[in-house]
Amino acid sequence: MGFLNKGTILFSLLLGMAHFFRMGELNFVLIFFFLLILTIFNLRLSKIILPLALIFLFFTWIEVSYTLISFRIQAHMPWFRLVFIMFLVVLFTFLALVFSWKNFEKVKDRFFLLFIFLVVFGLLNFLRLKSSFPLLLFGRFVFKLGIFQAFLLALYGVYVGERFLRPKEQYRLRPKIWALFSLVFFFQLGLGLWVDGRFLLTGKLHFPIPALIIGGPLYRGGGFFMLGLFLSTLLLVGPAWCSHLCYVGGLDNWGANLQKRKSKAPLSRKGAWINLALVVLLALMGRYGVLEGQVLFFLVSIFGLVSLFFIVFWSYQKGKMTHCLGFCPLGLVSVFLGKVNPLRLRINLEKCTGCGICQAKCLYQAIEKWEDKFKINHYCTNCLACFALCPHRAVELTFGSKPKKGLYKGYIFILVSLHTLFLGLARI
């Protein structure tokens, strides 16, 4: 970015900051300050977002100009000098927009990344405005910075989306951002319980156990929000709930990856099937008065402690996701109901050489030997590890039964958008 280009853009951002500071709009002051820093250091994120910010600023100046000039004319005050000044401000902002657009055109996959920003920022603000209470955490504290938090989350989504477009980068980054989501979720829960209740979503506490997404509505006969959210994600991304969006799975995956010497013995899924039956049975028994509420509370507490044991100790010991594979009933529901989404991973047997890299890297035991090659079974969670690591490109992403051009990019768009929205909104 040349000196003239950068100088024009920086001065326009400073003018915008000054205007919003004068208007008391701290959210926009911080947004433009953040963009100023990104531009000074010539970071790639600034090239993607700057045209959008400067378009917004351009029309803001036009509105301000119209308002001020109309007021002076109606008040019979001198207005010609004001017209000249505002014309220069608008022109300067337009030049900055032109320069920023030239930089934007040099960015690969620019419209894909910009669309992630628009969708995440737009949805977060739509939900923020429609909610009867502050949904975003920054909006609950001093200065009500919900818009600024939505901006930061949208920028984060752009960063993740750009990395995820490269399959091997997606393979390396996915466990990290998934663990980040889990840590943020439980850290906010801890702060809400012991520091300030505003860190909780509604203040109505319940056990943060995925199995209760099924058991809760069965027990209450209502309260279908989490179940509806879960089923909606299955429609959008299939069983990828279990590899990208579950707030417990990120910790289980992290614990399994800490162990370098992984057990070669396959994990049994019988425990998960038994737990699924128990969750349904006990929830219905509680609903119809066979079990008292205190007994159910005790049983759910035991279930949560056992889950914690699997995550903290057993997954690390085995080097496998023992909680997700052998204990969690929601995972079974996810992989089977997730088939409603027609997107599939499949191994092209004509390209497969039987090297076994895909099976060795699959943490979900979803790839099995078939004659002298491999195939993906119905426990696949679309984590995309095999897709990224197959040296022969034998693993294909298909819609129905056929691979389609642009399918990976579209799927990544949905995954990244959902992950970012969950990161900003998911709390107890």
How far is residue 126 from each of residues 392, 416, 425, measured CA to CA in Å?
44, 18, 13
Residue with tokens 């092209």: 348
Residue with tokens 């995820």: 164
Alpha helices per DSSP H over 23-145? 26-40, 44-74, 80-104, 110-130
Strand ranges of the sheet holding 343-347, from the earlier edge strand across to the other edge: 343-347, 395-399, 402-403
What is d(CA 187, CA 358) in angstroms, rounded to the nearest whole number? Answer: 34
pLDDT mean by block of 10 residues, the chain; 428 residues: 86 97 97 96 93 98 96 93 95 96 94 98 96 90 91 98 97 96 94 89 79 91 87 96 95 87 84 94 92 89 89 84 92 95 93 93 91 92 96 93 88 98 91
Question: Phi, psi at residue 20, to the nearest 5°?
Answer: -70, -30
Q: Is there a contact between 127 and 136 (Cβ–Cβ < 8 Å)?
A: no
Task: Dump pLDDT digits (tens) for 397-407.
Answer: 999 878 888 89
3-state secondary structure 252-279: HHHHHHHCCCCCCCCCCCHHHHHHHHHH
Q: Is there a contact between 57 and 93 (Cβ–Cβ < 8 Å)?
A: yes
- Residue 120 token pair: 């995440």
* Displacement of CA 138 from its chain's centroid (Å): 17
Number of other CB atoms surrounding residue 173 within 10 Å: 15
What is d(CA 125, CA 401) in angstroms, rounded to the nearest whole number? Answer: 37
> What's the confidence (pLDDT) of residue 190?
92
> What's the confidence (pLDDT) of residue 203?
66
Q: Is there a contact between 366 and 332 (Cβ–Cβ < 8 Å)?
A: no
Q: Is there a contact between 307 and 324 (Cβ–Cβ < 8 Å)?
A: no
DSSP 195-234: T-GGGSSSS------TTHHHHHHHHHS---HHHHHHHHHH
DSSP 314: I
> What's the confidence (pLDDT) of residue 25?
96
> What's the confidence (pLDDT) of residue 1?
63
Task: Dump pLDDT digits (tens) for 105-124.
Answer: 999 999 999 999 999 999 99
> What's the confidence (pLDDT) of residue 80?
93
Cα dihedral 341, 343, 347, 348 sign? positive
Nearest to 20 by CA among 99, 12, 139, 49: 12
Q: What is the pTM of this model?
A: 0.94
Number of other CB atoms surrounding residue 378 within 10 Å: 10
Q: Is there a contact between 30 and 36 (Cβ–Cβ < 8 Å)?
A: no
* Amino acid making up residue 399: F
